[in-house]
Amino acid sequence: MPADPVTDNYCRPVSGALYSRVQPTPVADPKLLALSNDVAERVGLNTRTCDQTQLASVFSGNELLPGMDPHATVYGGHQFGHWAGQLGDGRAINLGDVLGADDIAWTLQLKGAGATPYSRQADGRAVLRSSVREFLCSEAMHHLGVPTTRALSLVLTGDTVVRDMFYDGNPRAEPGAVVCRASPSFIRFGHFELPAARGDVALLENLLDFVITTDRPDLHGRLSSGDATDRRSACLDWFAGVCDSTQFMVLQWMRVGFVHGVMNTDNMSVLGLTIDYGPYGWIDDYNPDWTPNTTDSEQRRYRFGQQAAVARWNLFQLANALYPVIQDAEALQSILNSLPGKYEVARRKMQASKLGLPDEALGDPAFTELLDDLEHLLVCQPIDMTIFYRCLIDFACEHDAPAANERSQASLSDAIAPALYPVEASDPDGIAVANRSIFKQWGRSYRQFLQRYPLNAMTRRKNMSAVNPAFVLRNYLVQQAIDTLEQGDSTEFETLFRLIQQPYECLAEPDRRFATRRPAWASNRAGCSMLSCSS
């Protein structure tokens, strides 16, 4: 791919190129805070024999190994629905690719290693709090089964970085850190949008050829056949694959209650991987309108319940960018038109799995009503989504055989009691008086489905436990770990790092405090619920 001919590192427009070579800015005293052994092994590192001092030096940007060719890429994007023009890797520097286990190539990227030509007057640095969130969330998502970029290491720099966390004119010096991210590719929708917006069809075509050849070798034959029809069909198949992987990623977000917070097109991976962990969050009480991003608090464009629709809007922008090369609007539109129906089928199947029901239940005429009534139940009063579904496992496994209705109705309330946030005018079991009939009716309907599609209790428990996590990385837990880290205590951070690697396992007694409802004090405290883009 063409490189920027200018080698000086200053903020500027870059055209006719995909990347600029740039050197990381050295830091004062790099120290390795965390290393993902899983990622290290995937990229070919032996964690038992590695020199951790050198690891800290390399993955802070202080030392380059032979073959590394540091560079930052240029792209554009739609931010909050508006075209933003040139953006690019403002605080990310790619070290290069490594061939890891099973001959899989991984790009290693430092986030927070200094300014690049795309930093837009910023310093290219990252603070500890944002780096902790990036490191932990990348790995948490992987272990939850959500497609994601990975985090290899977290390094303290020994420097301080000045940030205005609340954008209120009160900046402060904070500890600096660098995360090394790993992914088969960091190519984004915005990489295609920028050359398309500039009318640089040659660069756009070059990039599309490169990405298809690299990521979809099965399409390479048609792409390089010399036949225009074959070439167009290969490009369309690649785009359809991007659409499918993007929708699958969002479906997994919805399954575990994750909200990305900044679904700009420059934050969308063509591999369908979750990328750029800024103001993200897991919903506590189920609320389709919740967003973790303070910048989006008025518009709520990127709210939880809107994520699938936003993904489709972003894919429409990608299709627009690809059109100058593909030149087949009807075929692109046909792919886009198929997305809502395909997503709905997948969503219903995902919901059935969370409820412990087989695919056979999807054809039941009453299944749609069951899901609609469940949505009504979850929003009628504050209910913790993660805990609700985990508690539902016991209810499902105990009530898939005929029993008295009274037992069913009482048991639902008992089973989900740990998921209920306090409300006024409630029963002793926590159900608001006005909502009694909602819970009663849904418990009866759900139990009828369990009896209609019986499973061995052990099998049902195993199936539901595999898709309903016992532990998710709530923002207030991360903020507590950040607070103690800044005081020199890594205990909470290390505990969270251990727990995110086994999110579907029942927590042992000492760890159960990490799987309870969000405490009242965390509802409005900075960093514990909503986050700014500086977080």
Q: What is the DSSP string of 198-236?
A: TT-HHHHHHHHHHHHHHH-GGGHHHHTSS-HHHHHHHHH
pLDDT tens-digit map of 357-389:
999 999 999 999 999 999 999 999 999 999 999
pLDDT tens-digit map of 353-364:
999 999 999 999
pLDDT tens-digit map of 148-161:
999 999 999 999 99
* Residue finishing a domain among 138, 158, 186: 186
pLDDT tens-digit map of 245-294:
999 999 999 999 999 999 999 999 999 999 999 999 999 999 999 999 99
Question: Above 70 in pLDDT, residue 408?
Answer: no
State the Cα–Cα distance between residues 195 and 118, nearest whole angstrom: 16
**Which segments of 358-456 does DSSP mark as H helices, in order?**
367-380, 385-398, 405-416, 436-452
Q: Is residue 461 part of a domain?
A: no
Q: Is residue 334 part of a domain?
A: yes
What Å distances lie between residue 145 and 40, 359, 519, CA to CA? 19, 20, 27
Q: Is residue 509 part of a domain?
A: no
CB atoms within 10 A of CB 341: 9
pLDDT tens-digit map of 104-154:
999 999 999 999 999 998 999 999 999 999 999 999 999 999 999 999 999
Same domain, 44 and 175: yes
> For a pLDDT cut of 70, what percent of the chain falls above it?
97
* Residue finishing a domain among 425, 454, 483: 454
Same domain, 168 and 30: yes
> What is the SS3 string spanning 147-198?
CECEEEEEEEEEEEEEECCCCCCCCEEEEEEEEEEEECCCCEHHHHHHHHHC
Same domain, 362 and 256: no
Q: Is residue 390 part of a domain?
A: yes
**Using CA of residue 521, residue 523, residue 527, residue 529, what is the dihedral sign?**
positive
Domain count along the chain: 3
Task: State both tokens at 437.
Answer: 């009939």
Spot the catalytic one: 4, 89, 209, 266.
Answer: 266
Bridge partner residues of 155 (DSSP): 32, 178
Same domain, 23 and 149: yes
Q: Is residue 513 part of a domain?
A: no
Same domain, 439 and 310: no
Same domain, 83 and 171: yes
Question: Above 70 in pLDDT, residue 63?
Answer: yes
Q: What single-letter amino acid sits at 151?
A: A
Report pLDDT for 168: 72
Range of the domain at 266: 199-347
Report pLDDT for 404: 45
Phi-psi region of 225 (alpha: psi -120 to 50; beta: other; left: phi over 0): alpha
Same domain, 314 and 342: yes
Question: Above 60 in pLDDT, residue 195?
Answer: yes
What angle, 0 to 180 degrees and rounded to 10, lies between the N-to-C axes of helices 475-486 and 128-144?
140
Same domain, 361 and 313: no
Same domain, 41 and 131: yes
Task: For 375-395, give one letter per residue: b (16+ CB within 10 A) or e.
Answer: eebbebbbbbbbbbbbbbbeb
Same domain, 371 and 449: yes
CB atoms within 10 A of CB 52: 12
Q: How far is CA 249 from the centre of its chain?
A: 8
- Secondary structure (3-state) at 531: strand
Report pLDDT for 166: 67
Q: Is residue 203 part of a domain?
A: yes
How many residues would you count in the chain?
Answer: 535
Half-sphere exposure of 69 (CA within 13 A, CB side): 10
Annotated active-site residue 266? The verdict is: yes
- Note the pTM of the prediction, 2 decimals: 0.96
Computed over every residue of the chain, the mean pLDDT equals: 94
CB burial of residue 4 (10 Å; 0-12, 13-18, 19+):
buried
The mean per-residue pLDDT over the stretch 324-331 comes to 98
Phi-psi region of 182 (alpha: psi -120 to 50; beta: other; left: phi over 0): beta
Question: Above 50 in pLDDT, residue 512?
Answer: yes
Task: State both tokens at 405.
Answer: 């209705």
Q: Is residue 114 part of a domain?
A: yes
State the Cα–Cα distance between residues 503 and 487, nearest whole angstrom: 27
* Residue finishing a domain among 430, 454, 478: 454
Report pLDDT for 534: 58
Same domain, 337 and 206: yes
CB atoms within 10 A of CB 7: 11
Report pLDDT for 486: 93
The mean per-residue pLDDT over the stretch 226-230 comes to 95
DSSP letter, residue 524: S
Q: What single-letter amino acid sits at 531?
A: L
DSSP letter, residue 127: B
Question: Above 80 in pLDDT, residue 401?
Answer: no
Q: Is residue 479 part of a domain?
A: no
Same domain, 41 and 159: yes
